[in-house]
């Protein structure tokens, strides 16, 4: 399961994002959003972890992790509206 989730995350293109739930569904495990977080937390393969967000485009990481995630996304051209990513523009449709 974790390998399948990581493969989906690896396919998120630069400048696009996906939600934890969207990654789980694309990997064939709907409802396994928490396992996506686990797969990324225990990852040492250089996946684009910063492209995975909470529902509605929210950054869920606290503190410096959340700041780093936002900086990485902004460097890729991802736009924010307040504390959320403009999902209608940046959500990866094909995972």
Whether 95 contacts 6, CB under 8 Å: no
pTM for the model stands at 0.94
pLDDT tens digit sequence for 74-83:
999 999 998 9
Backbone angles phi, psi at 25, to 5 degrees: -65, -45
Q: Is residue 18 part of a domain?
A: yes
Q: Is residue 95 part of a domain?
A: no
Q: Per this entry, what is the length of the chain?
A: 95
The CA–CA distances, whole Å, from 71 to 7, 56, 59 equal 24, 18, 11
Number of structural domains in the chain? 1
Domain that holds residue 17: 2-90
pLDDT value, residue 42: 76
Q: Is residue 23 part of a domain?
A: yes
pLDDT value, residue 44: 61
pLDDT tens digit sequence for 12-71:
999 999 999 999 999 999 999 999 999 998 776 789 999 999 999 999 999 999 999 999
Q: Tell me whether residue 7 is exposed, middle or buried, using C-beta atoms within 10 angstroms of its C-beta: 0 to 12, 13 to 18, 19 or more.
A: middle
Q: What is the CATH number of the domain that holds 10?
A: 1.10.10.10
């Amino acid at each position: 399961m974790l390998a399948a989730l990581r493969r989906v995350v690896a396919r998120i293109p630069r400048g696009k994002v996906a939600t934890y739930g969207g990654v789980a569904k694309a990997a064939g495990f709907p409802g396994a959003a928490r396992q996506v977080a686990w797969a990324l937390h225990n990852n040492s393969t250089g996946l684009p972890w910063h492209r995975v967000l909470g529902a509605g485009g929210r950054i869920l990481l606290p503190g410096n992790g959340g700041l780093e995630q936002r900086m990485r996304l902004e460097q890729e051209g991802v736009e924010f509206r307040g504390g959320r990513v403009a999902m209608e523009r940046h959500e990866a449709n094909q995972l």
